[in-house]
Chain A
Amino acid sequence: MTVLRPSGDFDRSYQQDMSILRKRWQWVVCILAIAVVASTPYWAPPYVVITANRIGYTLIAVQGLNILTGYTGQISLGQAAFMLAGGYISVLSVTYLEIPVFFAIPIAALGTGLIGLIFGTPSLRIKGFYLAMATLAAQFIIPWMTRYTFTDFLGGSEGMIPAPVPKIGTFEFNESSRYIYITLVAVIFSTIVAVNISRTRLGRAFVAIRDNDLAAEVLGVNLFGYKLRAFFIAAAYAGLAGALRAHYQWAIGTELGYTLTESIFFLGMLVVGGLGTNIGPFLGTTFIILMQDLSNVVGTNLADVLPQAMTGRLLTSFRPIFFGILLMLFLIFEPRGLAHRWQLFKASWRLRPFSK
């Protein structure tokens, strides 16, 4: 987590020491990156804008998972179910309480956080895969509830309900090229919060729990309290992501995914990106989602070459095979993820003529 600085790189004021972006070039790069993403509707094909939206809301869910799994070390297999809960809370509060969408999304985040607390309470006594089991239970119980209870409100056997389109005045965010601004603002907000969590008392307590929970308790970290906070934050992030996704897809429900497989994909993105780093979720989510699209393209092209009987099978099966192999290779050869590769790259660039 600590950033190793090259010698001679000093902070010249307290303000610079405290800031996230310490130098002028970092500001420039950051603003340029935001500008590039924000201008995609004007220069990129629509497909890219759709993918950018998908990366955006997935990224928020993975950032939440990073706080719970990467920093606090508690494995969660229920992130997709929490997304589902968040989407439902947002949509229901817009439909029945007539709250504007932009207020409903934070409400969804808080509400999902509270649901996360319920499934986090077993973490007082258990850890490791016992806890993975408790979150696995969440991954089954929440989708079941949306399907079989309160069928009038939650869609019942149809498996989804329509979600309203967010709008300011008469301007409707009804297509990807407009929705991307909402996604972008949400991603910037969630990133700032995540970075600040990781470098303050809260994040340090999380890391202490991850490294050795008993030692952390001896040092005065309230174990249960901090674990519950981690669960709350992770679920709130998932709720935010789910609400964004619901209003983007104009519908929410189990028909649209939110399965155990998706939860596993989130964990995979986190590992590929790098556990317990702030840049990890960005790298991992982008990499895996682009790889998914690539595997779709490769699968379609392979299907044209191969005999007819294989076509249908290939399209559905290429993605899990691809993801499975990718995840296993990363775990064996680069368990610290792309973030570590990025660090190595930066270090070798700095030492340039003398690095190997």
Chain B
Amino acid sequence: MNWVLVPQAIVTGILSGGVIGLIALGVVLIYKSSEIFNFSQGHLVMFGAFLTWWFAGANEHGDEIVNLPLGFAVVAALVTTFLLGYLIERLALRPMTGQPLLSIVLMTLGLAQFVEGLVSIAFGIQPKSNFPAPISRIETFKIPFPYAFKETIYVTQLLVAVFIVVILSTIVVAIIFRFTRSGLAMRASSEDHELARSVGINVPRMFGLSWAIAGVIATAGGILLAMNFGASLTLSTVVLVVFPAILLGGLESLPGAIIGGIAVGLVQELVKTSTIPEIKNAYTIAPYILLLIVLFIRPEGLFGRKRIERI
């Protein structure tokens, strides 16, 4: 462990983990409402990033069909994926109601393959490094810190801005859940489907709504990631680290998802500070080792509910 790098790694880790937490929020949302574990979230993230890139007219061949300013492009992508999320639930998951878990998991995996093919046919397979970013990727904030490397912690302005957006979106989701009528209805239908039905809540519509919101969250996460790293097909694999984050936080817990995401980001950055090259290279699998440890010690996660089963 290279200790002088640790303060820097902690700051970077927390900031970059926020996005993972936000994406994890989408998976938890769907799980809470309909007990479906969405393995295609990573691909929806990738799709959202590519869609925004396309709306913003950054096509390399110069044959753009639409050429919106970034703000409008983001809104257009969010609206599209809102509808897409609803459509996915309606067309793919609704017919699966009552099927065993394995079929539903496979359905989301098939969906992931489909989205991957769709993205590569519509936008091409080359990574897009020219993703528009409103804030510089190079300019940094310098925080004086006497124990750190060079006595300063460097944070790119983009990373800080991304983290602020993550916090704001989390607050928006929390407000929707706590204070709006449909938020109340969603919470009710996640507690008990039959009870929710009996008080007049349209439970299938709530499932659709939760998928739509999850689609929006995925796109938001995709945009925030792509501003840093560009949009590419590997985004969907990189984003799979949200699953360790979710299991660490607990499957049913919304704050748990954010905390899990930050923890995963921290672990990744801390592993990178190691002086041994084998361990340093392990930052890609460190979240999965964390996942195995969580599964062995506390399978329900930090804030999850313990399951009690009866025959």
Residues of A within 8 A of B (CB): 69, 73, 75, 121-122, 125-126, 128-130, 132-134, 136-137, 140-141, 144, 148-149, 212, 214-215, 218, 260-261, 264, 267-268, 271, 275, 309-310, 312-314, 316-328, 331-332, 335
Q: Known contacts being A137-B289, A140-B285, is A129 close to B113, with CB within 8 Å?
A: no
Residues of B within 8 A of A (CB): 37, 61, 92, 95-96, 99, 101-103, 105-107, 109-121, 124-125, 237, 240, 243-244, 247, 278, 281-282, 284-285, 288-289, 291-292, 295-296, 299, 309-311
Provide the residues of chain B in CB contact with A271, threshold 8 Å: 103, 106
Which residue in A122, A125, A148 is a CB contact (below 8 Å) of B292?
Answer: A122
CB distance from B301 to the nearest CB of A (A): 10
- Contact call A318/B117, Cβ cutoff below 8 A: yes
CB distance from B132 to the nearest CB of A (A): 22
- Contact call A134/B106, Cβ cutoff below 8 A: no
What are 29 residue pairs bridging A and B, where the CB atoms are less than 8 Å apart in the complex?
A121-B296, A125-B295, A125-B299, A129-B37, A132-B37, A132-B105, A133-B295, A134-B291, A136-B240, A140-B284, A140-B285, A144-B282, A148-B278, A218-B311, A260-B237, A261-B113, A267-B106, A268-B110, A309-B61, A313-B125, A316-B120, A317-B119, A320-B114, A324-B112, A326-B110, A327-B110, A328-B92, A328-B111, A332-B95
The 3 closest A-B pairs by CB, nearest first: A324-B114, A321-B117, A327-B110
CB distance from A121 to the nearest CB of B (A): 8
Which residue in A130, A148, A335 is a CB contact (below 8 Å) of B103?
Answer: A335
* Distance in angstroms between the alpha carbons of A215 and B309 in the assembled complex: 11
- Contact call B289/A129, Cβ cutoff below 8 A: no
Residue of A nearest to B123 (CB): A313
Could you count the A-B residue pairs with CB atoms below 8 Å apart for me: how many are there?
141
CB distance from B110 to the nearest CB of A (A): 3
Provide the residues of chain A in CB contact with B61, threshold 8 Å: 309
Which residue in A129, A212, A313, A328 is a CB contact (below 8 Å) of B110?
Answer: A328
Provide the residues of chain B in CB contact with A140, threshold 8 Å: 240, 284-285, 288
* Distance in angstroms between the alpha carbons of A73 and B103 in the assembled complex: 11
CB distance from B88 to the nearest CB of A (A): 10
* Distance in angstroms between the alpha carbons of A332 and B96 in the assembled complex: 7
Provide the residues of chain B in CB contact with A312, threshold 8 Å: 124-125
Which residue in B113, B117, B289 is a CB contact (below 8 Å) of A141?
Answer: B289
Q: Known contacts being A126-B299, A133-B243, A313-B121, is A141 close to B106, with CB within 8 Å?
A: no
CB distance from B47 to the nearest CB of A (A): 13
CB distance from B101 to the nearest CB of A (A): 5
* Distance in angstroms between the alpha carbons of A148 and B120 in the assembled complex: 29
Provide the residues of chain A in CB contact with B120, threshold 8 Å: 313, 316-317, 320
Provide the residues of chain A in CB contact with B111, threshold 8 Å: 324, 328
- Contact call B125/A316, Cβ cutoff below 8 A: yes
Taking A148-B278, A313-B121 as known contacts, 11 extra A-B pairs with beta carbons closer than 8 A to each other, sorted by chain A number, are A125-B299, A133-B243, A134-B295, A136-B288, A214-B311, A264-B113, A310-B121, A313-B125, A317-B117, A320-B120, A335-B99
Provide the residues of chain A in CB contact with B107, threshold 8 Å: 327-328, 331
* Distance in angstroms between the alpha carbons of A319 and B125 in the assembled complex: 14
- Contact call B295/A323, Cβ cutoff below 8 A: no
Q: Known contacts being A318-B117, A319-B117, A321-B117, is A134 close to B109, with CB within 8 Å?
A: no
